[in-house]
């Protein structure tokens, strides 16, 4: 499917991998984007332009959300909060189980990572069904913080993941 985008240099760096991780799925590979310094920079600048002014922290989900989230946090001077898979964080955590488009998984966050006065933006490479992002919103709210937006490099519109995030603004650079 062709991408409808205002970011052709970023879109040109996304590679389709058919039948990965299983037959029938067309995986959107971001590794060429990461390898292209100019396109990766443009991607971070475009994401930064969408940050609400009152953002306190960037929250990124393991693992590709770390790549974009850490770069965005550094570019904007904000802190970065990782959302990890089970058993990866060394301190007390909150855990949530959620459904993926092809299975079940869990995410964790440190219990002291955020407080009730923090306004946070979540970021990930891809919005598909919205399961990971929705679980992340739940963890953020469990800590008392307020999610104020969600940013994605790629959105698979046909999976309607945006609907699971309907209570916050969602911005995606590329739509497929």
Q: Give catalytic residue positions.
A: 64, 101
Sign of CA dihedral 156, 159, 164, 167: positive
Question: In which residue are the tokens 């407080």 written?
Answer: 115
Comparing CA positions, the residue from 25, 23, 28 lying closest to residue 3 is 28
Q: For residues 61 and 124, is the Cβ–Cβ distance under 8 A?
A: yes
- For residue 87, what are the CA distances in angstroms to 23, 45, 50? 30, 33, 32
Find the DSSP H helices in the chain: 8-11, 31-35, 37-48, 64-76, 131-142
């Amino acid at each position: 499917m062709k991408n409808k985008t205002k970011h052709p240099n970023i879109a040109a760096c996304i590679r389709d991998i058919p039948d990965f991780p299983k037959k029938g799925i067309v995986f959107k590979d971001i590794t060429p984007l990461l390898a292209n310094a100019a396109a990766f920079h443009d991607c971070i600048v475009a994401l930064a332009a969408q940050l609400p002014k009152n953002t306190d922290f960037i929250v990124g989900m393991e693992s590709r959300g770390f790549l974009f989230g850490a770069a965005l946090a550094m570019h904007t001077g904000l802190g970065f909060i990782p959302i990890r898979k089970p058993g990866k964080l060394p301190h007390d955590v909150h855990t949530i189980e959620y459904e993926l488009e092809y299975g079940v998984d869990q995410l964790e966050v440190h219990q002291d990572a955020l407080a009730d006065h923090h306004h946070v933006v979540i970021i990930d490479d891809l919005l598909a069904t919205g399961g990971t992002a929705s679980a992340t919103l739940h963890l953020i709210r469990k800590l008392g913080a307020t999610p104020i937006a969600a940013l994605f490099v790629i959105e698979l519109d046909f999976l309607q993941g945006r609907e699971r995030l309907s209570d916050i603004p969602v911005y995606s650079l590329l739509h497929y």
